Amino acid sequence: MPANTTAASTKKKGRRARLLVFVLVLALVAGVGYGAYWTVSTVRASFPQTTGTLDVEGLSAPVDVKRDQYGIPQIYASTDEDLFRAQGYVHAQDRFWEMDVRRHMTAGRLSEMFGKSQVDADAFLRTLGWHRVAQEEYDKKLSPDTKKYLQAYADGVNAYLKGKEGRDVSLEYAALAFSNDYTIEPWTPVDSVAWLKAMAWDLRGNMQEEIDRSLMHSRLNEKQIKDLYPAYPYDLHQPVVGRGAVDEATGKFDPSAEASGSSAGSAGSQDSSGSSAGSQRSQGPRGSSGAAGTPQGAAQGFQTQLSALSDSLERIPALLGPNGNGIGSNSWVVSGKYTTTGKPLLANDPHLAPQLPSLWYQMGLHCRSVSDKCRYDVAGYTFSGMPGVIIGHNQDIAWGFTNLGADVSDLYLQKVSDKGYQYGGEEVPFTVRKETIKVAGGGSRTITVRTTNNGPLVSDRSNELEKVGEKAPVTTPAPDRGDGYAVALRWTALDPGKSMDAVFKLNRAKDFDEFRRAARDFEVPAQNLVYADAKGAEGHIGYQAPGRIPVRAKGHDGTMPAPGWDPKYRWEKDPVPFDELPYEQDPQRGYIVTANQAVIDAEKYPHALTQDWGYGSRSQRINDLIELKIKDGGKISTDDMRTMQMDNSSEIAKMLTPYLLKIDVSDDAYVREAQQLLEGWDYTQEADSGAAAYFNAVWRNVLKLAFGDKLPKELRVKGECINVRPADSTGPIDEQNRLVRECGQRDAESAQPDGGDRWYEVVRPLLKNEKSEWWQSPASRIDEGTTTRDQLLRRAMIDARWELTSKLGKDVNSWSWGRLHQLTLKNQTLGTEGPGFLQAMLNRGPWNLAGGEAAVNATGWNAAGGYGVVWVPSMRMVVNVGDWDKSRWINLTGASGHAYSAHYTDQTDKWAKGELLDWAYGEKAVDAATADTLVLKP
């Protein structure tokens, strides 16, 4: 046997041995086959003390921590510093493993915990430099008060950790200790600030769409790509803000003004092809040439780069979920004029990745007496690892978030050499730094990070990208080939900002003006903020779009990678001014809805915010439900708001089902049985609905036949193979020009077509064009090819019937959507990559869920990958503004991150049913709900 083979075999045996030890240790922890002593001592060792008293270094006075029957804490302190020190202590009690993993991720140090499998992810994150930017924010940008609170929080975390071994902090450390000599480090303020970078990354806007559009050029022409990225349907789905304009005299947005519509999109507008004027054109299916101003020709090497970059993005742990069109949230607020309470009602449910424990941690932060030395009386949803409340209410106002979806990142193709990069006809030296990645089990890896004026070279992190440009047939006006090309990332979150200041300002805001002043500092991630207060007869409602949104040069709209050597494509120095961003207060319609739809009509607004909004299915459904309820003087109650959150209606089902019912399948009794499920169906996706199961299976197969099999391999599901024409081929298929076998390369959760509401707008016009080229699909061994709409719909109905027969059984009366559409909650570290035994210990589920993609009850699934749930309403709240103790809330999991705690998943069953818990806020209500009281003493 060759020496290298022997060495490889030895390494494999070593890994297996370590894994075996790891599993055996966990078996001991679980008490499988061994004494109960191990189970009790090891599991309970990390459970936090929640009653009695504890000494906490640094406190100036006692702090009370009152937990209810679900373990949700309300903290009472006498100073701001004591309040946030106690918050850090309590977060660490319940969630430190989660906090520790998160800070290692944001710092690019996962390899220190989990070994060499994480080196590539760490290298990419070090290249982005999240922790470096967070340190710069802390040193140079944040206010003295914010830094004081961050330090107090870190002191509280460290007070909890003091004197504890890993097994005393969390069960996972007890297991990790047998395969790693990892030691917990003290928490720092910068660890908290860096979390905002992870949040910004997962909500970064259209980077994936930018990559996907470029990759599509290997198989599709410009018109076809335009078909797959239709314009936002303003005539069907109203934007957040219905009116308003930037006043040229004052330079401020006036929400009451009527826009002229003449200056819209000055930062870049789309031409007839659907791409930005002057942006990159690449080869279509028949070898069409590119336009001037950017790299031309097939650019196959560049396509390879983008494919590799997409793979790199998938390896980054997504704390919030798969990035893309489906990720978002719902929030809406209704004026007291239309509510049963006479004051506003505010609802919010962010749609994020399901994970265990939930991303959110419910908590109240209360000063015993609000004064200059103690300014907070706030409750809501927090991030473990960060002080303050992210979403919730204080004694005066309530607020909610959804993702704005602004385009805040661009990819640049850079002409590079060993010494630097070309810009404006000159060679500019890179900014270079070294990063050393320590790896558990010994050893380290040093990487070189090269940065341009358009950001770091992310292509350096892939072996495939090291030879960028060697095969790319670029011609004039691109620079000469030289050493090749690289890909740089320009992203607003890589510039230091003051978003952490905004959190504390928001927590203590008392009115709409202070709310907007807080929003001014909320630079990344760009969010939609909704607002409500109880002042006056009916209270007030409002909306603000904050965020650092770049101003691009004319002709560049951010939808495609840009030539980094051309100064015309650089961002302007200053972003869109905050005073010019859309907002409104007390609109005449009496309600505000944000659900990732367009913020304002692009034809009536001077700044290009993005070309890739969510397409508005959820938002319009919420608008319609509100309008229906208040029609003829009706009033909306707290329970009505909850019912709206659980609405399962499917817009695509309403659009497509009438066509499916007209398809003649009388010659196939089995398919006819399934078709009959759709007769009389109300288009709602309840968990027990057989009709919803069949329709969604048909929709998935329509997408596959019409679009999926025509997309390049880089976008299709990994491992799924089809026979296709070579990308650079022309003429008939014959012996010399054969079909080739191509297998998909994309992770199932981010493959295309994902079935989101963008695809609704793709299909809508095609349904009226019976002979569109998209309805053409090739014959297979068991199916005839299709040339018309009805032929393809029939084939999809047949394929769906047999797919569900294999998954759910032959009897259509036994089918249910929930059996297909399941949620399993997974521990985001050891519960995702470990062996089945380990996953069974840490994970929970499955739950059969209602809802679906682009429904208000957005239990998202990726149609290319299957029916499993990939994102969910990560929490739900309905705030009864002014009468705060009548508010309601729920979390996806529970307060605790300890796998065997009673509060690990004690809210999940209720969440799945759409139930909400009472949300105590006032001291009397909190005392009545208190199950455990812990006093933290100086």
Is the N-terminal amide bond of 357 cis, ω within 30° of 0?
yes
Q: Peptide bond before 765: cis, by omega within 30 degrees of 0?
A: no
φ, ψ for residue 814 (rounded to 5)? -95, -5
DSSP SS3 for 693: helix
Q: What is the pTM of this model?
A: 0.90
pLDDT bracket for residue 485 (50, 70, 90): confident
Give the lowest-confidence range in 91-100, 430-439, 484-493, 538-547. 484-493
Contacts of 160 (CB under 8 A, 6+ apart): 88, 89, 92, 93, 96
Predicted pLDDT of residue 443: 87
> Residue 5: which pLDDT band, with cuts at 50, 70 and 90?
very low
Task: For residue 901, give the nearest of 173, 34, 71, 160 by alpha carbon.
Answer: 71
Tell whether the model's pLDDT for residue 729 goes beyond 70: no
Residue 610 CB-density burial (10 A; 0-12 exposed, 13-18 middle, 19+ buried): buried
Q: Which of 401-415, 668-682, 698-712 has the lowest mean pLDDT?
A: 401-415
Residue with tokens 């200053």: 574
For the segment 876-893, the average pLDDT, to the nearest whole number, is 98
Q: Are 419 and 427 in contact, with CB atoms under 8 Å apart?
A: yes
Q: Which distant-in-sequence residues (6+ apart) come within 8 Å of 898 by Cβ? A: 43, 46, 47, 48, 94, 170, 171, 904
pLDDT at 310: 65
What does the pLDDT look like over 219-277, one tens digit per residue? Answer: 899 999 999 999 999 999 999 998 999 998 999 999 999 755 444 443 333 333 333 32
pLDDT for position 579: 97
**Apex CA 57: angle with CA 53 and CA 60, to 5°?**
85
Alpha-carbon gap, residue 358 to 373, rounded angstroms: 33
DSSP state of 547: S
The arithmetic mean of pLDDT across residues 550-558, rounded, is: 82
Highest mean pLDDT among 37-51, 434-448, 789-803: 789-803
Q: What is the mean pLDDT of residues 546-550?
A: 95
Q: What pLDDT, on the 0 to 100 scale, is given for residue 254?
A: 96
**Which pLDDT does position 172 carry in this prediction?**
86
Q: Is the pLDDT of residue 34 over 50?
A: no
Q: In the chain, pLDDT over 90 holds for what percent of residues?
A: 69
pLDDT of residue 289: 29
Average pLDDT over every residue of 421-432? 94
pLDDT value, residue 21: 38
In contact, 396 and 512? CB cutoff 8 Å: no
Lowest mean pLDDT among 658-667, 821-830, 885-894: 821-830
Q: In whole numbers, what is the pLDDT of the chain averaged over residues?
A: 86
Mean pLDDT value of segment 320-325? 48
Give the mean pLDDT of 357-364.
96
906, 859 Cβ separation under 8 angstroms: no
- Rank 322-326, 414-418, 820-824 by mean pLDDT and report only the highest: 820-824
Q: What are residue 851's DSSP bridge partners?
A: none
Contact in structure between 356 and 826 (CB atoms under 8 Å): yes
Stronger pLDDT, 725 or 146, i.e. the higher one = 146
> Has residue 755 got a pLDDT over 90?
yes
- Of 50 and 828, the structure prediction assigns the larger pLDDT to 50
592 has pLDDT over 50: yes
The 3-state DSSP class for residue 848 equals strand
Query: How are strands ordered across the β-sheet holding 444-452?
Result: 431-438, 444-452, 455-456
pLDDT at position 778: 87
**Of all helices (H) and strands (E), which one includes residue 909?**
helix 908-913
Is the confidence at residue 54, as pLDDT, over 90?
yes
Per mean pLDDT, which range of 46-55, 113-122, 306-315, 578-587 is the poorest? Answer: 306-315
Peptide bond before residue 712 is cis, with ω within 30 degrees of 0: no
- Beta-carbon neighbour count of residue 740 at 10 Å? 11
CB 507, CB 482: distance < 8 Å: no
Average pLDDT for 575-589: 97
Instruction: Annotate 254-293 with b (16+ C-beta within 10 A) or e (fewer).
Output: ebeeebeeeebbebbbbeeebbbbbbbbbbbbeeeebbeb
| pLDDT attached to residue 214 | 82
The pLDDT assigned to 461 comes to 84
pLDDT for the residue numbered 271: 35
Backbone φ and ψ for 410, nearest 5 degrees, come out as -140, 145
Cα dihedral 349, 350, 356, 362 sign: negative
Confidence category of residue 330, pLDDT binned at 50, 70, 90? very high
Mean pLDDT within 273-287? 29
- Rounded to whole angstroms, the Cα distance separating 155 from 447 reads 33
So what's the pLDDT on residue 293?
Answer: 38
How many other C-beta atoms lie within 10 A of the C-beta of residue 175? 24
Quote the pLDDT of residue 294.
Answer: 41
Tokens 């459970």 belong to residue: 47
Q: How far apart are CA 843 and CA 831, in angstroms?
A: 6
Report pLDDT for 291. 31
CA distance readout (Å), 317 to 201, 321, 353, 380: 10, 9, 11, 26
* Predicted pLDDT at 199: 82
Residues 6+ apart with CB under 8 A from 64: 75, 76, 933, 934, 935, 936
Residue-level pLDDT at 316? 61
Q: Which region among 80-94, 721-735, 900-914 has the lowest average model confidence (pLDDT)?
A: 721-735
CA 16 to chain centre: 35
413 has pLDDT over 60: yes
Please tell me the distance from the alpha carbon of residue 476 to that of residue 566, in angstroms, as a whole number.
13
Specify the DSSP class assigned to residue 358: -
CA-nearest of 361, 487, 349 to 897 is 361
Give residue 7's pLDDT: 38
Which range has the worst mean pLDDT, 11-20, 31-40, 785-794? 11-20
Model confidence over 626-635: pLDDT tens digits? 999 999 889 9
Residue with tokens 């208000």: 856
Q: What is the mean pLDDT of residues 491-516?
A: 97
Tokens of 139: 């040193």
> Phi and psi at residue 714, in whole multiples of 5°?
-65, -20
Residue 604 carries which side chain, given as an amino acid letter? K
Q: Kindly indicate the confidence band of residue 730, based on its pLDDT and cuts at 50, 70 and 90.
A: low
How far apart CA 495 and CA 428 sit, in angstroms, is 21
The whole-number pLDDT of residue 563 equals 87
- Give the start-end residues of each E strand in 80-140: none
Least confident of 282-296, 558-572, 649-663, 730-744: 282-296
In degrees, rounded to 5, the angle at the alpha carbon of residue 119 between the alpha carbons of residues 115 and 123 is 150
pLDDT band of residue 442 (cuts 50, 70, 90) is confident
The two most distant CA atoms of the chain are separated, in Å, by 86
Q: What is the pLDDT of residue 798?
A: 97
CB 661 within 8 A of CB 672: no
pLDDT at 639: 98
